[in-house]
């Protein structure tokens, strides 16, 4: 009897284990790395499944997320911005590669994120691009893309400890300090517009790192000569997110395009940095930087940016608000005193004799309620149109 119960128990445990394993396996299968957004579908189901499995394998073996998106509509975004958006909305992984092919505009973009940006040099990037282009079908193109990616990343596999996610969770046990260091992997200074000398870059990047470490928020600078068709605000937000900076941080974007004679500077702030980079303070920073920026002294301008960020906004006392606080305090104080003083008084005349009413003595001997008149008041109701919008216009 005991043996039967033991056998039954073991069978139950095994069955449960199988169910859990299948459930975990099924949930793993739900990751989608290959996305076909075209109306007619450029992949057969088996092809999609096969490509997806390949990406799953790449992620499991090397730690990189490899995505491909075939689309006909990038929602008005540039392909690069669309790639960033698709990547960040599909995965939390900080290291990966995404290919986006906008077949309506014949536009192709491959973005390298995190560690991938470091291991793919210009040569390997071109190889990947050509591998995708020189095929007959989309399935073959994505397969070639995945193979080329694999040929590079197999030499730079990420250990599980290196796979750090935005949420702060890690695959495997990673000490907190180690995790904090990982957020510093994204370069805090990227001089794509080539405005700084190497020494200036080194000095500023060190200063940015020191700031980020001390203030526990990322402070970054990027100089660009191309905004990928985006506004500088959108570019800054996209760049900040794609670089995997922390929840709290700020990014200075210096855009200068001499050919188009365009130049602009923008500060993007996230989390707690928003409290520092208020509208007024941001303008103060720009004022302080303006002279150096106009003189082309970018190192000095960026140092000013870092120094100002470290100082924080100078807060001035709002005397009128202080007056209001004092006035309200005095009013409350006065009320409290009046209440306290009133407790010192206890002599009160008794204007009724209810305490002396003989119990049950009250008796109604006559009562009469006569209707006299009535009148009705009519008030027009305010008209309430269904349209909630408001506004106005003038023909002139």
CA gap 59, 50 in Å, rounded: 14
Residue 28 or 336: the one with the smaller Cβ distance to other proteins is 336
Residue 24 or 326: the one with the smaller Cβ distance to other proteins is 326
* Pairing assessment for the beta strands 34-36 and 262-270 based on DSSP bridges: unpaired
Minimum distance of other proteins from residue 304's CB (angstroms):
24
CA gap 67, 109 in Å, rounded: 12
Minimum distance of other proteins from residue 383's CB (angstroms):
9
CA gap 140, 203 in Å, rounded: 47
The DSSP-derived string for 237-270 is HHHHHHTT--SSEEEEEEEEETTTTEEEEEEEEE
CA gap 225, 194 in Å, rounded: 9
Q: 76 in helix, strand or coil?
A: coil
DSSP state, residue 108: E
Residue 258 or 373: the one with the smaller Cβ distance to other proteins is 373
Residue 173 or 372: the one with the smaller Cβ distance to other proteins is 372
Residue 1 or 376: the one with the smaller Cβ distance to other proteins is 376
CA gap 114, 252 in Å, rounded: 19
* CA-to-CA dists, residue 95 to 13, 46, 87, angstroms: 38, 27, 10
Residue 39 or 341: the one with the smaller Cβ distance to other proteins is 341
Residues making contact with other proteins (CB under 8 A): 275, 315, 317-318, 321-322, 325-334, 336-338, 340-341, 343-358, 361-381
Which residues have C-beta within 8 Å of that of residue 64, sequence separation ≥ 6?
Answer: 58, 93, 95, 96, 97, 115, 116, 149, 153, 158
Minimum distance of other proteins from residue 275's CB (angstroms):
6
Nearest to 182 by CA among 238, 114, 124: 114
Residue 75 or 344: the one with the smaller Cβ distance to other proteins is 344
What are the backbone dihedrals phi and psi of residue 91, each rounded to the nearest 5 degrees, phi first?
-150, 155
Minimum distance of other proteins from residue 237's CB (angstroms):
24
Minimum distance of other proteins from residue 341's CB (angstroms):
5
Minimum distance of other proteins from residue 310's CB (angstroms):
17
Residue 26 or 321: the one with the smaller Cβ distance to other proteins is 321
Minimum distance of other proteins from residue 335's CB (angstroms):
8
Minimum distance of other proteins from residue 312's CB (angstroms):
11
Nearest to 107 by CA among 80, 127, 137, 140: 80
Residue 75 or 374: the one with the smaller Cβ distance to other proteins is 374
Residue 161: count of CB within 10 angstroms of its CB: 16
Rg value, the chain, Cα: 35
Nearest to 239 by CA among 273, 189, 276: 189
Residue 350 or 395: the one with the smaller Cβ distance to other proteins is 350
Minimum distance of other proteins from residue 327's CB (angstroms):
7
CA gap 195, 200 in Å, rounded: 10
What are the backbone dihedrals phi and psi of residue 211, each rounded to the nearest 5 degrees, phi first?
-60, -50
CA gap 141, 55 in Å, rounded: 14
Which residues have C-beta within 8 Å of that of residue 367, sequence separation ≥ 6?
Answer: none
Minimum distance of other proteins from residue 221's CB (angstroms):
26
């Amino acid at each position: 009897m005991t043996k039967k119960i033991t056998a039954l128990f073991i069978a139950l445990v095994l069955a449960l284990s199988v169910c859990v394993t299948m459930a975990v396996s099924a949930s793993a299968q739900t990751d989608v790395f290959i996305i076909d957004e075209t109306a007619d579908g450029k992949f057969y189901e088996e092809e999609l499944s096969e490509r997806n499995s390949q990406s799953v394998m790449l992620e499991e073996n090397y730690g990189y997320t490899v995505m491909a998106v075939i689309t006909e509509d990038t929602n008005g975004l540039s392909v690069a911005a669309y790639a960033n958006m698709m990547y960040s909305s599909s995965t939390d992984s900080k290291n990966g590669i995404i290919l986006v092919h906008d077949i309506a505009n014949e536009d192709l973009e491959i973005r390298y994120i995190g560690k991938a940006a470091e291991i793919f040099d210009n040569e390997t990037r071109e190889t990947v691009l050509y591998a995708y282009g020189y095929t007959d079908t989309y399935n073959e193109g994505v397969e070639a893309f995945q193979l080329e990616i694999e040929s590079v990343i197999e030499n730079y596999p990420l250990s599980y400890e290196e796979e750090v996610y935005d949420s702060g969770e890690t695959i495997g046990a990673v000490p907190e300090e180690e995790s904090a260091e990982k957020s510093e992997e994204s370069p805090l200074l990227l001089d794509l517009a080539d405005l700084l000398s190497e020494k200036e870059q080194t000095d500023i990047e060190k200063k940015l790192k020191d700031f980020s470490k001390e203030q526990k928020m990322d402070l970054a600078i990027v100089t660009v000569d191309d905004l990928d068709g985006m506004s500088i605000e959108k570019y800054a937000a996209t760049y900040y997110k794609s670089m995997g900076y922390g929840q709290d941080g700020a990014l200075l974007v210096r855009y200068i395009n001499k050919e188009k004679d365009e130049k602009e500077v923008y500060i993007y702030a996230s989390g707690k940095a928003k409290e520092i980079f208020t509208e007024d303070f941001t303008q103060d920073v720009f004022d302080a930087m303006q002279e150096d920026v106009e003189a082309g002294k970018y190192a000095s301008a960026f140092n000013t940016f870092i120094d100002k960020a470290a100082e924080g906004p100078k807060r001035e006392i709002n005397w009128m608000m202080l007056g209001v606080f004092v006035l309200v305090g005095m009013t409350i104080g006065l009320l409290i005193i009046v209440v306290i003083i009133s407790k010192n008084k206890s002599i009160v005349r008794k204007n009724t004799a209810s305490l002396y009413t003989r119990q049950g003595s009250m008796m109604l001997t006559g009562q009469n309620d006569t209707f006299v008149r009535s009148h009705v008041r009519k008030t027009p109701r305010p008209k309430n149109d269904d349209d909630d919008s408001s506004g106005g216009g003038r023909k002139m």
